[in-house]
C-alpha cells in the first residue's frame, strides 16, 4: 500500500467515524445513507473546496500544504498523535519511497546497564516493530514467563509483542481488558508504519497479522492511532494473580525503547510484584516447553 492510498483511507475512515452532531453539523432529521460526515461537510469545516478534498481522499493530489493538513486535522478532531500521522502520510505520498530491509536493531550497552539497575522493576526493550530485544528477569517473568528467558538473544526465536498479543493465548489471558491492549498495539504500529514506510519487515508483520488474526485486520482497517507512552492495565498473572500496572515507554530518539511496568506504593499490586520478584530470585519461575502457563517449582 502506498502513501497516497493510505492517506485517502485514513481520511475516509476518520470522516466516517465523526457524527454530524459531534461537530455541530445540522441534519434536519434526514436519513443518511452512510455513517459519519459527508465529504462536502468535512470540506466546509476545514475551509477547503469539496473538489480539492475529494482529490485528497482519492489520492489524486499530493500538494496539500501543512496549513491545509492542519485545517483538515482540526475538522476531523484529531489529537496530536493523529495529526502527526496525517502529516507523515502526506509526506510519504509526496516522496518516492524504496522499500528496504533495515539493519538489525541492537541494544546499546547503556540500555543493558539500565535493565540491570532496574532489577526490581519489570522492564523490556522493544524495537520499532515490537521485537523484544532484551528484558530483565522480572520483565520476562511478568510479560512472558512462558517463553525461554534467552529468547530475545536468538534472532530465530526473538519474541514479537504484536504477535504475542494477537496470536498467543497466554498473553491474551494476561490482560483483563485484552481489546484495549490490542488497540494500543495496532495504533502504535500504524504510527510507526507512517514514520518508516520503507521498512519491508514492518509491512510483512502487518500482512502476517492481518492474515492470521481477523481482530487485527479489523482494528488495522479502523485507522485508529495511539502513541503507547503511558497506559494502565489490569493483568491476571498465572503465578501471582491480579495486579494493576502502569506501562511506561522510555524513548530517547529513533532507537529501541524501554518499557517498564510500575505499581502504586503500598498497593496489592505492588505486593504481587514483590512476590513475583521473590519467585524470580528463588528460581521458581520456569519456561514451559509447550508455552502454556509458567510452572511453579521448588528452587
Measured from the Cβ of residue 233, the count of other Cβ atoms closer than 10 Å reads 18
Closest CA to 188 of 130, 256, 123: 130
* Unique residue bearing C-alpha cell 510500575: 262
pLDDT value of position 232: 95
243, three cell numbers: 495486579
Q: What would you report as the CA-atom Rg of the chain, rounded to the nearest whole angstrom?
A: 22
* CA dihedral of 63, 68, 73, 75, whole degrees rounded to 10: -130
pLDDT value of position 253: 63
Q: 27-54: b or e for each residue (b if 16 or more CB lie within 10 Å)?
A: eeeeeeeeebbebebbbbbbebeeeebb
Instruction: Give per-10-residue mean pLDDT for the chain (299 aa).
Output: 72 88 75 81 91 86 83 92 87 64 82 90 94 96 94 91 96 96 93 86 93 96 82 95 94 81 96 94 59 34
pLDDT value of position 299: 31
pLDDT value of position 38: 87
* Unique residue bearing C-alpha cell 510483512: 204
- What is the rounded distance in angstroms from the CA atom of residue 87 to the CA atom of residue 39? 20
| 204 Cβ contact partners less than 8 Å away, ≥ 6 residues apart | none
Domains of the chain in sequence order: 3-94 (1.10.260.40), 109-296 (3.30.450.180)
Q: How far is CA 272 from the centre of its chain?
A: 26
- What is the rounded distance in angstroms from the CA atom of residue 56 to the CA atom of residue 157? 42
Handedness of CA 44, 47, 49, 55 (dihedral sign): negative
pTM across the whole model:
0.80
Map residue 270 onto helix, strand or coil.
Answer: helix
Summarised one tens digit per residue, pLDDT across range 200-213 is 899 899 999 999 99
Amino acid at each position: 500500500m502506498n502513501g497516497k492510498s493510505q492517506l485517502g483511507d485514513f481520511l475516509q475512515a476518520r470522516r466516517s467515524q465523526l457524527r454530524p452532531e459531534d461537530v455541530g453539523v445540522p441534519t434536519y432529521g434526514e436519513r443518511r445513507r452512510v455513517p459519519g460526515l459527508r465529504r462536502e461537510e468535512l470540506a466546509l469545516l476545514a475551509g477547503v473546496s469539496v473538489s480539492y478534498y475529494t482529490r485528497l481522499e482519492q489520492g489524486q493530489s499530493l500538494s496539500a500544504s501543512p496549513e491545509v493538513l492542519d485545517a483538515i486535522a482540526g475538522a476531523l478532531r484529531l489529537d496530536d498523535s493523529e495529526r502527526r500521522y496525517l502529516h507523515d502520510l502526506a509526506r510519504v505520498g509526496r516522496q518516492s519511497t524504496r522499500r528496504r530491509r533495515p539493519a538489525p536493531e541492537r541494544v546499546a550497552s547503556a540500555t543493558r546497564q539500565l535493565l540491570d539497575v532496574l532489577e526490581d522493576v519489570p522492564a523490556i526493550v522493544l524495537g520499532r516493530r515490537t521485537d523484544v530485544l532484551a528484558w530483565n528477569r522480572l520483565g520476562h517473568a511478568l510479560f512472558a514467563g512462558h517463553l525461554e528467558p534467552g529468547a530475545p538473544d536468538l534472532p530465530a526465536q526473538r519474541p514479537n509483542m504484536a504477535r504475542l498479543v494477537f496470536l498467543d493465548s497466554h498473553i491474551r489471558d494476561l490482560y483483563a481488558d485484552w481489546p484495549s491492549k490490542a488497540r494500543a498495539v495496532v495504533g502504535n504500529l500504524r504510527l510507526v508504519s507512517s514514520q518508516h514506510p520503507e521498512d519491508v519487515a514492518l509491512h510483512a508483520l502487518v500482512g502476517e497479522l492481518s492474515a492470521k488474526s481477523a481482530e487485527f485486520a479489523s482494528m488495522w482497517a479502523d485507522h485508529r492511532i495511539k502513541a503507547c507512552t503511558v497506559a494502565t492495565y489490569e493483568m491476571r498473572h498465572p503465578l501471582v494473580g491480579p495486579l494493576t500496572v502502569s506501562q511506561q515507554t522510555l524513548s530517547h530518539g529513533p532507537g529501541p525503547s524501554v518499557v517498564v511496568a510500575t505499581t502504586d506504593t503500598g498497593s496489592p499490586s505492588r505486593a504481587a510484584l514483590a512476590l513475583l520478584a521473590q519467585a524470580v530470585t528463588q528460581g521458581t519461575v520456569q519456561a514451559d516447553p509447550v508455552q502454556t502457563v509458567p510452572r511453579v517449582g521448588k528452587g
